[in-house]
Structure 1
C-alpha cells in the first residue's frame, strides 16, 4: 500500500555506542501524508519539521501556516525533501498549526496539519 512508503530508520545500540541509518522506501501511488504529531520547539533553537509523505513520484512539497505559504521570512527554509527548517525559533511568531501538502505530476494532492 502507498501508505507504507516513506522514510524508515534503523537504530542499533550496544555498550560501544549507538548508530542509526535512514532510507526512503518509494511505493508508486497517489500522495499520502501520515499524521503529524504535536511538536515542542525551543525558542532560539532550530526546528525541523519533516512532511511524512508517501506515494511516488512526488512532484512538490509545500508548507503553510495561517493560510500563507512558507517561507515568509529569512528564518524559514523548505528543503528539496520537503523538510521545513525554522532558525531561530521565536515562541510567539512560530507557534501554531502548520500544514504540509504534497502533489504529484498528475495533480493529485494530499495535505495534513500538525501543531507546534
Structure 2
C-alpha cells in the first residue's frame, strides 16, 4: 500500500489516509484538494489521528464486527487497533460545518 491513498469512511464518504501522526496541515490540505477537490463554502478540513490495521482480503465483514455494504464480496478493510508505532495513520476529509461555526 502506498500513502497517501483514498479511504471510504462509514457515514462520511471518501477521505484521504496518510501514514503517521503530527503531519503538516498545509501538506494535508494540498493533498486533499488535489485528490478530492476543493471544499464547498460550508466545509472545512477535518483531521483525525487514528490507529488502524489493514485486512487486504475480507469477504464476511460481519464476522469481525464490521458493518459493510460489500458483505459477501472480496474486498479490503481498515479497522481500528490499539496504538502502536506501526498503526499510526491520519485521516483527512472535508466536513460540513454549521453556519455559526464559519464566522
- TM-score with structure 1 length normalisation? 0.23
Higher helix share: 2
Q: TM-score, normalised by structure 2?
A: 0.24
- Give the number of the structure with larger relative contact order, counting CA–CA contacts within 8 Å between residues 6 or more apart: 2
